[in-house]
Amino acid sequence: MGWPVNLAADLLSTAGSDGDLEGGTMEIGLGVRKYFPMGEKIQLYGQVGLAFISANAKVDGTSFDESGSGIGFALNGGALNPVTDMFKVGVDLRLSSGNADFGDPVGDVARVDSPSVWLWPWACSPRPSA
């Protein structure tokens, strides 16, 4: 019999620009994930954990070019459908939030809130038989 929850690690990254502003985030999430089998194939899951967040921002035409980091939370859930014994396709709904402190001399704190929906393939080991 296995653990009632699994350890989970996630890596997410974003980048974008809007006019003179360029920026991005990177997030490493560590937490626990609980699976809820729904019949023969579909597995639902919920996950909660910490988010280690890094953010950067640059404004063209100015000297502002800063980065910072901080710790926040991550909460997500989703569904997996096996295509083969070793490959699953899933959808994930995630909310993570935290502060990235740009520090001195700027002293600003960037609030990083990232609600997101992901559709991705998962390669994993076969599901253990009951």
For 75, half-sphere exposure in the C-beta direction (CA atoms, 13 angstrom radius) is 4
Contact indicator for 27, 52 with CB cutoff of 8 Å: yes
Contact indicator for 55, 114 with CB cutoff of 8 Å: no
Higher-pLDDT residue of 44 and 103 is: 44
pLDDT at 47: 93
φ, ψ dihedrals at 72, nearest 5°: -140, -150
Tell me the helices (H) and strands (E) count for the chain, helix number first: 0, 7
> Would you say residue 119 has pLDDT above 50?
yes
Dihedral class, residue 103 (left if φ above 0, else alpha if ψ from -120 to 50, else beta): left
Q: Structure pTM?
A: 0.70
Amino acid in position 40 = E
- Give 82-115 pLDDT, tens digit per residue: 888 778 888 888 888 887 777 655 555 666 666 6
pLDDT at 5: 87
Written as six digits, the tokens of 82 are 């096996």
pLDDT at 129: 46
Distance of alpha carbon 82 from alpha carbon 60, whole angstroms: 46
Domains annotated on the chain, with CATH: 6-123 (2.40.160.20)
> Would you say residue 40 has pLDDT above 70?
yes
Cα separations in angstroms, 25 against 6, 17, 110: 26, 12, 11
